[in-house]
Amino acid sequence: MQSLTKRLSHILLLCGVSTSYIVAQPKSTTALHGVEFAYPPGIINEFSKANGQDGWAREPILRRMPDGTLLCLHMTGGPWEPNNANYTAVSRSTDNGASWSSPELLLKHPNQAVYSSELFISGAQVYNCLISFYTDSWYSQAKSFTSASQNAGKTWTEPMSLPGSLSNFMLKRGFVLSNGDWFFPVACQEKADGFTEVFNRTTFTQGKHWPFCVSGLICKPGWKEAQLFGYHKRADLGMLWEPNAIEVSPGHLVMLMRASGTSVLYRTESRDYGRTWTEVGPSDIPNGNSKIMMLKIGKQVILVGNQCKDRSEVALWVSDDGCKTWKKKIRLAKIMDMATMSKIEHNAPMICYPDGFADDQQKLLYLALEDGIRHYLLKIPYADFL
């Protein structure tokens, strides 16, 4: 255990970037499964084969349900992802994350991969936003669906495609705009060439043949009048994907996204509620080729992700000026030894893919992280970063 002062500001070299970190609470760190956490971690579920699971799980999505329980979705199944045997599993906690149910099958297709990319809550209605796809095509033939629950995720409707022709994309974290519209960043994959080719992890790693592009979906509540706005694509056909957006002030949106092979996040902005956007381009925010999470808590924007050169550290950054600057940067988790950390096939050791929600009543940020085998839960007091 490493002792920390209650308020300690120090300068350290984070993944090659000189960054000022302010660590507020707790006064000690916790080591678990080769990762040092700044807050005591809980384990949502472990997907090791020794635990009777498939040996891996990715991309937890964590939300509080309308009945107060916690629900976490997991991508697992088959030997790895993408694979046609991939499916969505679900875990539930009735005691604020102190204990969790064993993962249960939520959605599986007999012939295609299923991947849940968002849990969106509107009043008592919960929407599981998902795609199904044949993995030989990677995501280029993905079809998007929503499945709804009116009883806090206990039962779900049959997945349905969105009305109209909008369907070939992944819906990411959505939110309600100040004008009442729903907004979702979306990513889709195009084919620039290789029409008859089959997905190969090595050939298509950087998406040069099948590039990923980003847009925004805007609709009225209940998925009515859904339209896509903006079309963000790299000139070099590199990947732009896993976008995240926030409304920093009425009508002013900032969207950040993963840009594989660049070591930074890309950025675009809108000042008309997401209808038109600035030209997308590199930001000055480092990124280890990984997903991020953005939330607005009061007037502050928080960014959680791998703000470093790889997926070895997760940090929480705070901005109070619309994502122009970041006044606090707190390291939440760090792999202690990359050489000895357990890993899954195809990936270097990692701690990554944050997802969660802000609980204004408890004044806590609930955050799920994953190392490819285990999905963790951290609870971070507002007082430590706001």
- Per-residue burial over 207-228, b if 16 or more Cβ lie within 10 Å, else e, is bbbbbbbbbbbbbeeebeebee
Structural tokens at position 103 = 């993962």
Q: Give the pLDDT of residue 11.
A: 30
Percent of the chain with pLDDT over 70: 91
Q: Give the pLDDT of residue 191.
A: 85
pLDDT: which is higher, 206 or 321: 321
Residue 323 gets the label, from left (phi > 0), alpha (psi -120 to 50) or beta, of left
- Which value, in Å, is the radius of gyration of the alpha carbons in the chain? 20
Least trusted range by pLDDT, from 112-126, 185-199, 232-246, 299-313: 185-199
Read off the pLDDT band of 12 (50, 70, 90).
very low
**Mean pLDDT, residues 108-135 taken together:** 97
| CATH 2.120.10.10 matches 8-384 | yes
Q: Give the pLDDT of residue 16.
A: 36
Percent of the chain with pLDDT over 90: 79
Least trusted range by pLDDT, from 193-202, 208-217, 305-314: 193-202
In this predicted model, what pLDDT tens digit does every residue of 311-323 receive, in sequence order?
999 999 999 999 9
Distance CA 318, CA 297 (A): 10
**pTM, two decimal places:** 0.92
**Mean pLDDT, residues 118-135 taken together:** 97
In this predicted model, what pLDDT tens digit does every residue of 26-83 receive, in sequence order?
557 999 999 999 999 999 999 999 999 999 999 999 999 999 999 999 999 999 999 9
Read off the pLDDT band of 94 (50, 70, 90).
very high
Q: What are the backbone dihedrals phi and psi of residue 147, each rounded to the nearest 5 degrees, phi first?
A: -125, 130
Distance CA 167, CA 164 (A): 8
Q: Give the pLDDT of residue 208.
A: 62
Q: Give the pLDDT of residue 13.
A: 34
How does the average pLDDT of the chain come out, rounded?
90
**Mean pLDDT, residues 176-190 taken together:** 97
Vertex 355 angle, CA 350 and 357, to 5°: 150
Name the burial class of residue 3, with classes exposed (0-12), middle (13-18) and buried (19+) by CB atoms within 10 angstroms of its CB. exposed
